Amino acid sequence: MTNMNRLNYTIILLFLSFPALAQQEILSLEDCYRLAGENYPLIQKQDLIRKTEQYSLENASKLYLPQLSFTGQASYQSETVRFPAGMPGASFPELSKDQYKIAGEVSQAVFDGGLSRNLKASARIAAETEQQALEVNLYTLKERITQIYFAVLLMDQQLKQRQLKKDNLQRAFGKIKAAYQNGTAYKSNAEELEAELINSDAAEIELRLNQEAFLKQLSLLTGKEITGSGQLIIPVEKHADFKISRPELKLFDAKTDMTALRKKQLKTNYLPKINAFFQGAYGRPTLNFLEDEFGFWYIGGLRLNWNLGSLYTLSNRKRLLEIEKRSLDAEKETFLFNTRQNLIQQDKEIEKYRRLIEKDEAVIELRTSVKKSAEAQLDNGVITVRDYIGYVNAENFARQNLILHKIQLLQAQYQFNNISGGN
């Protein structure tokens, strides 16, 4: 194949593979947070919370709409009003013992003691409480995404480092194999390097399968097909901020607001209620009961309803609500205390990985120098293949540590961010 044919072949391959590459969406950790939040089944509850709040507010507003009711009654009584007989110049009818009435009444709340206002406030706080409880559940999902994301990145870096080790072994294997064919090296030397290459391949297979499992989990959580670690961006370092902004705090505040509202509602229970009403009816007798005939009548006015029975338990209910508030305050302070402790511990983890990275870089520089010298010594027959493999493994182990600690540093920073609730 000429150079021109090779060039044309390469261009054709790139052209054919371009659509597949273009379809791969590059995602950051923040993108995965967002996609997982949108894809998680529990997110559907958010719309239900909004609708529940809307309907509750509408119902509370309708308390001041006119209320229409109908009643009907047919009765028979053993006795009716009797008027004295023999009154000069007066004649009174005898009232029927069977009586009938059908009535309709329209009532309008004039003063409800703050009932409708409190119901609206209760609907808003209940919706806020449900929303914050949902945010807390979604926040645990964020922590899960962080762990999976960094696990994929870590395995990707380990695979790259293993490929470097494999390249070193293959280069040495090629030299030993050539030396064996020329009669200047033992067959066992080549076989020992070949066995080490097989072990490296086995470790690579295990890493790739584990990485694929994590990628499938990430795909399931985000709703995006993620086929390779190349679609994931290595995050930038995060600055440690000890300010706590967790959704749990808003949930505690919403619960405290609900307790305060319930305390205000105690007053509503013993305040008077005033309604305006109009009642129209048809039956026998009418309001003029001296006429024992069917007819229409109406009556209108104001109606006062004042129930003071709740005053008996008012003081105890206030004490119970105060205990509930103090309990919530204690839970909130405990949460803040534990979170601060976790932040201090996580900050020490970040510092630990920074120091380890400094040591890793110094060790790698030394191990690389030793390995290069060992490679020359192997070529000259000064050291054995087993000795050389040991030097290669030592350098590889040092590089593995550096990769591990760099990824762990990033993960510790993002874990710190998740603990604090920062962005």
**Residue 62 carries which side chain, given as an amino acid letter?**
K
Q: Tens digits of per-residue pLDDT, 124-168?
A: 999 999 989 888 888 888 889 998 999 899 888 888 877 777 777
pLDDT at 21: 41
pLDDT at 183: 72
CB atoms within 10 A of CB 404: 18
Closest alpha carbon to 197 in 218, 180, 172, 216: 172
SS3 108: strand
pLDDT at 385: 76
Token representation of residue 124: 């808003």
pLDDT at 358: 93
Rounded Cα distance, 80 and 286, in Å: 14
Could you tell me the maximum CA-CA distance found in the chain, to the nearest angstrom? 156
Mean pLDDT of the residues in the chain: 84
Q: Tens digits of per-residue pLDDT, 317-363?
A: 899 999 999 999 999 999 999 999 999 999 999 999 999 999 999 99
Q: Could you check whether the bond before residue 285 is cis, i.e. omega within 30 degrees of 0?
A: yes
Q: Which fold has domain 26-76+96-420?
A: Outer membrane efflux proteins (OEP) (1.20.1600)
The answer to whether 309 and 141 are in contact (CB under 8 A) is no
Confidence of residue 87 (pLDDT cuts 50, 70, 90): low
Rounded Cα distance, 232 and 279, in Å: 73
pLDDT at 1: 42
369-374's contacts with Cβ under 8 Å and 24+ in sequence apart are: 370/394, 370/395, 371/168, 371/395
Residue 88 has pLDDT above 90, yes or no: no
CB atoms within 10 A of CB 388: 24
**b/e map of 158-168 (b: 16 or more CB within 10 Å)?**
beebbeebbeb
Give the number of residues written for the chain.
423
Q: Tens digits of per-residue pLDDT, 228-260?
A: 888 888 888 888 788 998 999 999 999 999 999
Rounded Cα distance, 86 and 89, in Å: 9
Closest alpha carbon to 23 in 221, 282, 178, 231: 231
Rounded Cα distance, 173 and 13, in Å: 32
Q: Where are the domains of the chain?
A: 26-76+96-420
pLDDT at 348: 94
Backbone angles phi, psi at 288, to 5 degrees: -90, 85
Token representation of residue 209: 């399968």
Q: What's the alpha-carbon Rg for the chain, to the nearest Å?
A: 42
Q: Tens digits of per-residue pLDDT, 280-316?
A: 999 988 888 778 889 999 999 999 988 888 888 888 9
- The tokens 């040495």 sit on which residue? 172
Token representation of residue 234: 């290595």
